[in-house]
């Protein structure tokens, strides 16, 4: 892939991210609320399971509740995916200059570099998204009226540092993208090599893969990444939640959140909301890579 095609990766990634968020956002709201629920916060409702959470939110908060934080989610996801695919392919091209073909190490390094840059650039958006998703009828104090109001209020009441809460676990979550993309690329290569042996007349890898292949590759690579990194997502959500009315945060920092979660909830606490997360992300990953690969092929 030449540098001339890097912008196509950014466009394809942004379109893929937008499609993913629109499809899966209600499950993202449920996941976030499960992640921060520790049984000791009166401002957070207790849901029995994912269907019960969806039904309860729909009944008590309506469509607005199911799509709380949708604007920052769309903004963050579109920017993140666009930048991620751009940085990833740019880094991969740079690492491959002196090599004839790609390797797992190149994919891993490229994904880690891209993930770190995206995390630094988009963390404020995810803080706002998390806080908007956690607003509910049981919430006390003045709620944020939207994306702009959330940014202004956070800056006024807590300062710019609050917009970077959860950055540490966010950087650890770079491993998520690295695992996902490495698994995707390696599995993709295996399938392409296998199909190429069966159909040697086709020179293009895109001709050898179907939409079903992209869906399976996206879901399987995402599953591996989720199982390995999910506890960091829980810690990030807990650290990013809004302080109490008196301005005292529930968790001082990521270390405090990890220690408190381990002591009071055990290993189960680090995997709260994983069912909603799997229901959201496995189909979403399939959609993302189907859209990405097809848009990329179309642009080329």
Q: CATH code at 236? A: 1.50.40.10
Q: 103: pLDDT confidence band, cut at 50, 70 and 90?
A: confident
pLDDT at position 126 is 95
Query: pLDDT tens across 215-225, in order?
Result: 999 999 999 99
Report the number of secondary-structure helices (H) and strands (E) in the chain: 11, 0
Please, are residues 174 and 80 in contact by the beta-carbon 8 Å criterion? no
Is residue 1 pLDDT above 60, yes or no?
no
**d(C-alpha 284, C-alpha 54), whole Å:** 18
Residue 19 lies in domain: 3-299
Rounded Cα distance between 80 and 244, Å, is 30
CA atoms within 13 A on the CB side of 4: 3
Distance CA 39, CA 36 (A): 9
Summarize pLDDT for 175-197 with one digit per residue, the tens: 887 788 888 988 888 888 888 78
Residue 41's pLDDT is 79
Binning pLDDT at 50, 70 and 90, where does residue 131 land? very high
Average pLDDT in the chain: 86
Most confident of 8-17, 89-98, 118-127, 287-296: 118-127
In this model, does residue 275 exceed pLDDT 90? yes
Residue 279 burial (C-beta neighbours within 10 Å; 0-12, 13-18, 19+) = middle
How far is 268 from 231, CA to CA, in rounded Å? 10
What CA–CA distance (Å, rounded) separates 72 from 231?
Answer: 23
- The answer to whether the beta carbons of residues 19 and 292 sit under 8 Å apart is no
When pLDDT is averaged across residues 76-92 and rounded to a whole number, the result is 85
What pLDDT score was predicted for residue 32?
95
Is residue 127 within 8 A of residue 30, CB to CB? The reply is no
* Total count of domains within the chain: 1
> What sign for the dihedral angle of Cα 188, 193, 196, 198?
negative
41-50 pLDDT tens trace: 777 888 999 9
DSSP track, 99-140: -SS--HHHHHHHHHHHHHHHHHHHHHHHHHHHHHHH--TT--
pLDDT in tens, 229-261: 999 999 999 999 998 877 788 899 999 999 999
Length in residues, the chain: 300
For residue 47, give the nearest of 33, 27, 36, 26 by alpha carbon: 33
CA 16 to the chain's CA centroid: 13
CB atoms within 10 A of CB 95: 17
Confidence of residue 70 (pLDDT cuts 50, 70, 90): very high
């Amino acid at each position: 892939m030449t540098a001339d095609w890097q912008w196509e990766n950014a466009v394809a990634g942004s379109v893929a991210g937008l499609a993913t968020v629109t499809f899966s956002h209600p499950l993202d709201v449920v996941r976030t609320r499960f992640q921060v629920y520790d049984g000791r916060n009166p401002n957070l409702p207790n849901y029995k399971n994912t269907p019960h959470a969806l039904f309860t939110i729909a009944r008590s908060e309506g469509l607005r509740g199911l799509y709380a934080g949708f604007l920052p989610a769309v903004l963050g996801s579109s920017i993140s995916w666009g930048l991620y695919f751009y940085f990833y392919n740019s880094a991969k091209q740079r690492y491959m200059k002196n090599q004839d073909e790609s390797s797992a190490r190149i994919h891993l390094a490229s994904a880690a570099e891209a993930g770190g840059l995206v995390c630094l650039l988009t963390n404020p958006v995810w803080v706002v998204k998390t806080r908007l998703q956690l607003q509910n009828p049981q919430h006390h104090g003045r709620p944020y009226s939207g994306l702009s109001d959330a940014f202004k209020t956070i800056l006024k009441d807590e300062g710019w540092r609050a917009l970077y809460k959860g950055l540490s676990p966010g950087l650890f979550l770079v491993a998520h993208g690295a695992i996902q993309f490495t698994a995707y690329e390696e599995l993709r290569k295996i399938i392409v090599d296998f199909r190429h042996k069966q159909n040697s007349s086709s020179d293009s890898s895109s001709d050898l893969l179907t939409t079903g292949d992209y869906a399976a590759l996206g879901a399987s690579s995402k599953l591996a990444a989720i199982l390995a990194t999910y506890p960091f997502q829980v810690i990030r959500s807990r650290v990013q939640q809004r302080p109490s009315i008196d301005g005292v945060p529930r968790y001082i920092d990521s270390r405090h959140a990890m220690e408190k979660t381990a002591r009071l909830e055990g290993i189960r606490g680090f995997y709260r909301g994983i069912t909603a997360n799997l229901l959201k992300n496995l189909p979403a990953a399939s959609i993302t890579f189907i859209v990405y690969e097809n848009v990329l092929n179309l642009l080329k």
